[in-house]
Structure 1
Amino acid sequence: MTASLLGIYVWAIGLVAWFIIRYPYARKARKTATVKAVGWSRERILLAIATIGLVVVPAIWLASGWPAALNYQLSYVSVVAGALVYALSLWLFRRSHKDLGRQWSASLEIRDSHQIVRGGVYRLIRHPMYSSFWLWALAQALLLPNVMAALSGLVAIAILFFTRIDHEERMLIEAFGDDYRAYMRETKRIIPGIY
């Protein structure tokens, strides 16, 4: 098996794993009432962009081969690195959901009885779910042997993150005030000790 084909298989298995991880948490979260939602239309557009970059563009390339001119051969080193990054992404994705419990939502929402989560991975970073998405996009860049399919995830996550993060933190400051501001001083956004 070529490294490029192996990379595609690893990416596809990771994608399936992502949905398997998300499903039970999404079901549980639907049962918890939403007190406040922010930017519903903007949220739908941003989530669609993320889905396009992480799922749709690679799927179109896999199904059609277009654009074949942007294909290249992967090395096994790239595939191993991509698999390790993907594994870390999936672990962090699952851990973030587990630590948030019923407070998790796909869009910007404050849930009934919402509290600031400071345990688990949230003791190191405020937004580990975004960290997991950045890692997923990096893994995709290492695993898919087509420039457009490989980089579409990084572009999509950059749009999602940089458009959404300030709105999310403003919403949390409104909901929790000085308690959230103190948490912001104690932690970094997505990279422990750095950013």
Structure 2
Amino acid sequence: MSLLTFAKIAWAVGVVSWYVLRIPFERKAKRQRVADARHRNLREMILLSISTLGLGIIPAIYAATGFPRFASYPPTVLQVVAGVVVFAGSLLLFWRTHRQLGKYWSVTLEIKDKHELITSGVYQKVRHPMYSAFFLWGLAQALLLPNFIAGPAGLIGFGILFFFRVGREEQMMREAFGAEYDAYARRTRRVIPGIY
């Protein structure tokens, strides 16, 4: 098996693992009553589609067909090993975030009935560890898929979702939790502990 084939398989295993990890949490979250879903709109669906394009569709086309070939380059062993390690870290953080959020998790911006603000565990240092996990996934994709379009597509696609969504999400949390959220925001960073 070539290094490129291994890298593509590793990326695909990571994506499938992400989906499998999410299934039980998605089922649990669907059973919860939603108190505030005003952000479930066309803008949100467009942002989710852009993220899916970058983290799923474009890299899947490349992994399956090699298209676009002109943007490809040979991978290195170090690059692929780093990609596998980063993807594993992303999946671990993703699982821990889902586990901690439990019934309060949702794909779109929602406040559940009797929603509590989670500030411990992985939420102790960053307010959006799930976004941190997605950025790590994007970084792993850039390392595992040696193509100047398919590789960084995840960071670009998810980055667009993040920067157009995070302010609205934080405003929604502020409205729901008031001073408690403001105090939490002052002592934490968004996605990188101690930095941003």
Equivalent in the alignment of 1:144: 145
Equivalent in the alignment of 2:84: 83
TM-score where L is the length of structure 2: 0.97
Equivalent in the alignment of 2:187: 186
SS state at 1:126 partner: coil
Identity %: 49
Are 2:30 and 1:9 equivalent residues in the alignment? Answer: no
The AA in structure 2 aligned to 1:51 is T
Equivalent in the alignment of 1:48: 49
SS state at 2:155 partner: helix
- 60-69 vs 76-85, which deviates more? 60-69
Query: Unpaired segments of 5 or more residues in structure 1?
Result: none
Instruction: Work out whether residues 124 and 192 of structure 1, in 8 Å CA contact, stay in contact via their aligned partners in 2.
Output: yes
Instruction: Work out whether residues 38 and 171 of structure 1, in 8 Å CA contact, stay in contact via their aligned partners in 2.
Output: no
Are 2:66 and 1:65 equivalent residues in the alignment? Answer: yes
* Matched length: 195
Instruction: Work out whether residues 81 and 142 of structure 1, in 8 Å CA contact, stay in contact via their aligned partners in 2.
Output: yes
Equivalent in the alignment of 2:124: 123
Distance in 2 (alpha carbons) for counterparts of 1:134 and 1:178: 29
SS state at 2:149 partner: helix
SS state at 1:35 partner: strand
Instruction: Work out whether residues 50 and 156 of structure 1, in 8 Å CA contact, stay in contact via their aligned partners in 2.
Output: yes
TM-score where L is the length of structure 1: 0.97
Are 2:110 and 1:109 equivalent residues in the alignment? Answer: yes
Residues 22-64 of structure 1 show CA distances to partners (whole Å, capped at 9, x for unaligned) of 1110000000011001332211111111111001001122333
Distance in 1 (alpha carbons) for counterparts of 2:36 and 2:57: 30
Distance in 2 (alpha carbons) for counterparts of 1:82 and 1:149: 14
SS state at 2:116 partner: coil
Query: Unpaired segments of 5 or more residues in structure 2?
Result: none
Superposed CA RMSD in Å reads 0.9
Distance in 2 (alpha carbons) for counterparts of 1:45 and 1:115: 28
Distance in 2 (alpha carbons) for counterparts of 1:58 and 1:169: 30
SS state at 1:147 partner: coil
Distance in 2 (alpha carbons) for counterparts of 1:18 and 1:5: 20
